[in-house]
Structure 1
C-alpha cells in the first residue's frame, strides 16, 4: 500500500503532529509513506523519519496551479493509492483528484470545538466530501457530525496516538524550582482558556508561593496573547507564570514538571493529554470533549467542570499537597494511554480499514 499525508504546515499543533505521526508509523508498515506540507514548514520537520518521503509545495494561494500539478505528478510518479488529507488540506487533494481520478482521498477531521457542532457549516468541505473515499474523525461527536452533514458513507473513529520514540537533541530549561512546576501544553487560543489558568495561579501563589506555571504553545502575538500577558502583569505573577511559545521538545518540558493541566473550554481528543499520560504526568483537566473517556476516575486523574475556577484550583491544590497520589495517578494514566492510544493499536486498525477501501470506488 502507498499512502501520503498532506498537511498545511509543520508548525507545532495537534493536526500537524498527527500527520507526522502517521507518516512515521506507516513508514515501518507499508511499501511507501510520504508527507506533504503545502504552505509552510516548521519545527516538526525535525521529527520526520528518514524513511518518510517528504515534499514541500510552498503553496502561495488557495488555488495555486503550480502546486496542484506538482502534487499531481508526485502522486502519479510514486503510484500513490491514498491521499490522507488532514484538516483544510482536503481542498488541494480534491483538486488533484479532479485531474487524476484514480487516487483515493481520506479526509482526517481534527476539529477542536466539538461542543458546538450544530453551527459548524462548511460548503466547500461538503462539496469536497463527494470525492472522499473515507473520513477519519478523532472523536465520536465528529464522527456523528460527518455522517449527518457530509456526503461520504465510510466514516471511522480513530483516536489520536503518541509516537513514543522521538529523538530530539534540543533540551529545554524551565524556570522555577525543581519539583514545583505546573505545565500546560496548549497554543494561546481563547478556547484553551489560559485566563482560567492565570486566575488559578494567582490563588495558588498565595498558598504555595514556590510553585510556578509554565505555558507551552504557539503565541500568535494577537490581542488575546496581549491580554493574557497583561493579566499576568496586573496580578503581579511575572515570577510565577512563564510563557515559552512554541517548543519542539515536549518530553524535556514534561520531565521537568510535576503536574500537567488542561483548562480548555473545548477540545476534541487533545494530543497534549496523551503526551501527559505517556510521560506519567498527574493531570487536572476540564471535562470537555473526549477527556472523560481517558480520565475515567480519580485513579487516572482529576477532571472538573469547564471554566470552574474554584474546582480547578482545588484539584491542583490537592495534587500539590499529595505527592504519593500524584505519582499513583500518573502511573495509572500511563497504563491507559499505552493500552488504548499507542501507535501499534491505532495503526493496526488504520491499515485494516484502508485495506477494506482499496477496491472501493465513489
Structure 2
C-alpha cells in the first residue's frame, strides 16, 4: 500500500502531531509513506518518512498512491481542487474538531455556519472521512452517511532531551511550597485557560504553568496582571515535546470548551499524571471519573473542588489514567486502525 499525507505544515500542533504519531508505526507496515506540506515553520516536527514542500496550486503525482489522506481545511481544499485528476487513488480526510463550535468561539455563529457548511461540502467528494471520537461521528454522520468512521488518535512518548533551565524554573516554583498545575497548548480562547487563572485567587498554595504560544496569550497575561498573580502564574514559550516536563508537575489541566480528542490529556495520562478536565462529551468518551477529575465549565466552585481532589488523588488517578491510555490510545493502535480502514476503502 502506498500512502500520501497532505498537511498545512510540519508544525508541532494537534493534527500534525497526530499524523506524526501515526507514521511512526505506519511506515514499517506499508510500502510507501510520503508527506506533502505547504508552509515552512521555524521548528518542524521530524518525520519518519519522505517529506516535500509543495505549493497550493502544484499537483503531486496523485495516482501513484493508493490512499491520499488530508488533514485540516487547507489540505482538504487542495484535494478538492484536483479531484478530477485523481482516478485510481482513494482520498480520505480526518475531522479533528467540532468545526462549528470551534469557529463559533473564534468568530461568530454566522461565520461558523458558513465555514462548517463549506467544509462538509468538500468532504462529500471524498471517499472516506475519519473522526477522532464517537461524539464527532454522531455530530457529522447525518451530513456524511456511509462515509464516516471513528479512529481514536494515538500518542507515543519519546525520550527528548529536556532544558535544564526550564526544569530548574519548575523545581524552583515547587521549592517555594507551591503545588504545580500545568497546561500546554496553542493558546486560543477555546482552550479555556483563563478559568484556571480566575480561580487561582482562591487557591493560595497552587501555582500555574502555561506552556505555548497563540493568539490569546496576551489576553491571559493581561488577566494575570489584573488579578496580581504574577508570582503564581508562569508563561513559558513553545518547546518541543512539552510532555517531557510533566514529571515535574502535580496536576495537568485541560479546561477546553471544545476538543475533538484531547491529545495533550492522553500524553499526560501516559506520563501517569493526575488530570483535571472540563466536563464535555469528547473527554467523557476518553476517560471516566475514576481516571480523571471533571469540572463544569464556567463554574469556579466545581473547578476548585476538582483541583483539590485531583491533587489529593494524584497517585491513584494517574495510574488509572495511564492504564486506560496504554490500553486504547497508543500510536500503534491508531496505526492498526488506519490500515484496516484503508484496506476497507480499497476493497470497495
Shift of 1:217: 2.4
**Counterparts in 2 of 1:10 and 1:112: CA distance versus 1, 3 Å:** farther
> Is 1:163 matched with 2:147?
no
Write out per-residue CA displacement over residues 292-345 of structure 1, whole angstroms, 9 at most, x where no aligned residue. 123312x3121011121111112212334x2xx211110010000011111222
Write out per-residue CA displacement over residues 204-243 of structure 1, whole angstroms, 9 at most, x where no aligned residue. 12xx1xx3211122223xxx33221111012111111011
Match of 2:185 in 1: 186
2:134 to 137, 140, 165: 140
SS at match of 1:149: coil
Between the aligned partners of 2:28 and 2:308, the Cα distance in structure 1 is: 44
Between the aligned partners of 1:330 and 1:272, the Cα distance in structure 2 is: 14
Q: Residues 198-277 of structure 1: matches in 2 within 5 Å?
A: 198-205=197-204, 208=205, 211-220=206-215, 224-277=216-269
**Counterparts in 2 of 1:44 and 1:336: CA distance versus 1, 3 Å:** farther
1:53 to 35, 50, 54: 50
Cα contact 1:198–1:232 (8 A) shared by 2: yes
**Counterparts in 2 of 1:293 and 1:128: CA distance versus 1, 3 Å:** closer
Between the aligned partners of 1:219 and 1:344, the Cα distance in structure 2 is: 30
Greater mean deviation of Cα atoms: 106-115 or 343-352? 106-115
Between the aligned partners of 1:136 and 1:240, the Cα distance in structure 2 is: 41
Between the aligned partners of 1:92 and 1:246, the Cα distance in structure 2 is: 29
Match of 2:319 in 1: 331
**Counterparts in 2 of 1:147 and 1:318: CA distance versus 1, 3 Å:** closer
Match of 1:196 in 2: 195
Between the aligned partners of 2:285 and 2:97, the Cα distance in structure 1 is: 18
TM-score, normalised relative to structure 2: 0.88
Write out per-residue CA displacement over residues 182-210 of structure 1, whole angstroms, 9 at most, x where no aligned residue. 111222111111111101222212xx1xx
Write out per-residue CA displacement over residues 161-200 of structure 1, whole angstroms, 9 at most, x where no aligned residue. 1023x24334343431268321112221111111111012
Structure 1: gaps of 5 or more residues: none
Cα contact 1:5–1:22 (8 A) shared by 2: no
Alignment RMSD, CA only? 2.3
Match of 1:83 in 2: 68
Cα contact 2:100–2:113 (8 A) shared by 1: no
Cα contact 1:23–1:35 (8 A) shared by 2: no
Cα contact 2:22–2:334 (8 A) shared by 1: no
Match of 1:279 in 2: 271
Shift of 1:87: 1.7
Cα contact 1:12–1:246 (8 A) shared by 2: no
Between the aligned partners of 1:227 and 1:129, the Cα distance in structure 2 is: 35
How many residue pairs were aligned? 332
> Is 1:356 matched with 2:344?
yes
**Counterparts in 2 of 1:114 and 1:82: CA distance versus 1, 3 Å:** same
Structure 2: gaps of 5 or more residues: none
2:94 to 97, 108, 131: 108
Shift of 1:281: 0.4
